[in-house]
Structure 1
Amino acid sequence: MRKSLLRMTFRQLQIFRAVCDNRSYSRAAEEMALTQPAVSLQIRQLEELVGQPLFDYVGKKLYLTDAAEVLQRASADIFGRLESLDMQLTDLQGSLQGQLSLAVESSAKYFVPHLFAAFRREYPEVSLQLTVVNHTQAIRRLSANRDDLLIISQVPSDMDLEFLPFLNNPIIAVAPADHPLCSQPSLHLQDLTGWPLLVREPGSGTRRACEEYCHQKRAHFAQTQEVGSMEGLCEGVIAGLGLALLPRHAVRRELQTGVLRELPVVELPLLRSWCVVHPRGKYLSPVAQAFFTFVRNQRTQIGALAEHFGGAGNSPQ
């Protein structure tokens, strides 16, 4: 090992990670309670130790160099090991403590807090850092090893991942309560194509799954409108802007109150499984391992919780 690398400090790595996360020296300085010149000095010293530049400016945007990408992954592992050490030391004292860093696709954000609450009843001293992302952002976070675990609905086949399917994610067609299609006893996807369809942004896993399924069923919507959030889609349907294909969990309250109706489409629901995921070979902290084990061993409890939460809780086989 190069001796220069041994002169790195944890503080330098913390500042480096703040710059990576914020893509800005000034925002990193604000986050770290430092001046911008102090951040610049620490990054320059770190670059001298690494022997390569870490950041490039193109226009007014900050980009990570290849060296920075490598250092970012290494620093995530270093701080993850420190967090794991802290957890193991508290575990030796008789209780599991620490923070679970969990990233979830937006379709899972409604159910996951209930899942974590069930986990926390067994481990009351564990806290949660929850990040909500779309599918594309989730894959980027997996590549950068940003989180302890991720919950996603479509596991990429081109990455070496350990994953555990644990709950069905049913996608249904919804319409406002006074929509003409609500009076029909039975529908096919083709019957919906004469109406505008509200869709998520291109990076959404729900949008990708629905587009692939509709293409397979030869149901082509001539009119689509893009809305960049699950909540926005829901409000758009209520407002009468169009129909939508949404996870049942995401609209459970609107279905219960009657402002939205689930359309009786023969080809639906489209079932996808939520999976808890991490890179294969990744060292899991005691808290992350406990959560993964909880999800694997408590299928019956999770299914019952999902039934109570949203009426769609069968676990995948």
Structure 2
Amino acid sequence: MDLAQLETFLAVVEERGFSRAASRLHRTQPAVSHTIRRLEDEIGEPLFERSSREGTLTASGELLREYAERMLGLRREATSALEQLRSLERGRLHIAANEYTCLYLLPVLDEFRRLCPHVSVLVERAFASRIPDQLLDRSVELGVVTFTPPDAAIEAVSVYTDPVVFVVNPRHPLAREKEVGIRQLGAESFIAHNVVSPLRRRVIALFEQHQTPLNMYVELPSLEAIKRFVAMGNGVALVPGLTVQQELERGELVQVAVPELKIERQLMLARRRHGSLSYAAQAFLKVLESVAAERGAPFCYRSAVS
């Protein structure tokens, strides 16, 4: 049996007759009668009392009526749900980001929630190195990374340019300086992130290049912990500028320029190259592009260069 047959069956029931049902469905009465006969043949039971002209149901007909109403109701619900997805009145967006890149998402999500308040958003904390695999196994739809994914099955666009900054607490002697050379940092105690990353390796290489010691006496598990520890008066740190904007504005930390340490990181939004995006994800990409156009640097929206 198919939904068209059930729709005809319910029309006969609701109109209490074949001729009225045919008029409602814009069909001939013989066509309606034929559809009902085929349905009865398939079920193996009569659905209507043939002695009645008002479409009186048999016991089998009453039972089928309940299920037919449910099935057609589910079709209406499914159609409505799909329309809501298209109109962004519902839906779900699943993004992977780490502790740092999640900060970039906050102003973008603020705009997205304003435009699409009925779409639920889940930002899953993930190691950046694992995000390409999560995209490929479809456990997430979008991911924010700080490198161009090497897998050709993933494409990425640059969405934010973030400099690495040298910060100290306001009472530190270097806080009074606008600029210091890298060799002046050889005697400082650096508070470092204990996760080995391309950024850490790059910083170490720069200190070696300038023949300057890099003393990492304390290593902590999060950027938040590093910021707080430095603000308390313990050592100095090199951190992504995005992570210390509020602390710099409040005067809890001071940024000092180090000309030899000009490092910028490109934050990229990655997705499966040939995968179709949900309506929610498509809307999110439009928000990314509009935010970049309206705010300008450091926000951007351009194809990544491998």
Which TM-score band (shorter chain)?
0.5 to 0.7
Residue 147 (1) aligns with residue 140 (2): yes
User: What residue is the counterpart of 2:85 in the other structure?
Assistant: 91
Residue of 214, 228, 231 corresponding to 2:224: 231
1:245-277: CA deviations, max 9, x gaps?
111221122111212110121134521111110
- Classify the secondary structure of the residue corresponding to 1:199: strand
Counterpart-to-counterpart distance in 2, 1:205 and 1:124: 37
Equivalent positions of 1:64-103 (< 5 A) are: 88-92=82-86, 94-103=87-96
Counterpart-to-counterpart distance in 2, 1:289 and 1:104: 18
Counterpart-to-counterpart distance in 2, 1:212 and 1:150: 28
Residue 156 (1) aligns with residue 111 (2): no
User: What residue is the counterpart of 2:30 in the other structure?
Assistant: none
1:98-149: CA deviations, max 9, x gaps?
1111111222222312211112222222121012233234344345432110
**C-alpha contact 1:135 1:204 (8 A) present in aligned 2:** no
User: What residue is the counterpart of 2:278 in the other structure?
Assistant: 285
**C-alpha contact 1:104 1:133 (8 A) present in aligned 2:** yes
Tell me the matched-pair count. Answer: 224
Residue of 106, 115, 135 corresponding to 2:108: 115
**C-alpha contact 1:273 1:316 (8 A) present in aligned 2:** no
User: What residue is the counterpart of 2:122 in the other structure?
Assistant: 129
Counterpart-to-counterpart distance in 1, 2:144 and 2:80: 25
Residue 220 of structure 1: how far off its partner (Å): 4.3
Residue 200 (1) aligns with residue 193 (2): yes
Residue of 283, 290, 300 corresponding to 1:315: 300
**C-alpha contact 1:138 1:150 (8 A) present in aligned 2:** yes
Residue 187 of structure 1: how far off its partner (Å): 1.1
Gapped regions of structure 2 (runs ≥ 5)? 1-78
Counterpart-to-counterpart distance in 2, 1:189 and 1:279: 41
TM-score normalized with structure 1 length? 0.62
Counterpart-to-counterpart distance in 2, 1:109 and 1:148: 15
TM-score normalized with structure 2 length? 0.64
Q: CA separation of 1:90/1:263 partners in 2, compared to 1, >3 Å: closer, same or farther?
A: same
Q: CA separation of 1:153/1:91 partners in 2, compared to 1, >3 Å: closer, same or farther?
A: same
Which deviates more, 98-107 or 187-196?
187-196
Residue 203 of structure 1: how far off its partner (Å): 4.7
Counterpart-to-counterpart distance in 2, 1:212 and 1:139: 27
Gapped regions of structure 1 (runs ≥ 5)? 1-84, 304-311
Counterpart-to-counterpart distance in 2, 1:145 and 1:123: 23
1:149-204: CA deviations, max 9, x gaps?
00111223355321010111121010111111222332122322321212213255
Q: CA separation of 1:100/1:234 partners in 2, compared to 1, >3 Å: closer, same or farther?
A: same
Which deviates more, 252-261 or 133-142?
133-142
Residue 176 (1) aligns with residue 161 (2): no
Residue 252 (1) aligns with residue 252 (2): no
Letter in 2 for 1:103: A
Q: CA separation of 1:208/1:141 partners in 2, compared to 1, >3 Å: closer, same or farther?
A: farther
Residue of 289, 296, 302 corresponding to 2:289: 296
User: What residue is the counterpart of 1:270 in the other structure?
Assistant: 263
**C-alpha contact 2:131 2:145 (8 A) present in aligned 1:** yes
**C-alpha contact 1:206 1:246 (8 A) present in aligned 2:** no
**C-alpha contact 2:146 2:265 (8 A) present in aligned 1:** yes
**C-alpha contact 2:191 2:230 (8 A) present in aligned 1:** yes
Name the larger-Rg structure.
Answer: 2
User: What residue is the counterpart of 2:179 in the other structure?
Assistant: 186
**C-alpha contact 2:157 2:269 (8 A) present in aligned 1:** yes
Residue of 125, 135, 138 corresponding to 2:131: 138
Q: CA separation of 1:97/1:219 partners in 2, compared to 1, >3 Å: closer, same or farther?
A: farther
Q: CA separation of 1:103/1:302 partners in 2, compared to 1, >3 Å: closer, same or farther?
A: farther
Counterpart-to-counterpart distance in 2, 1:189 and 1:213: 9
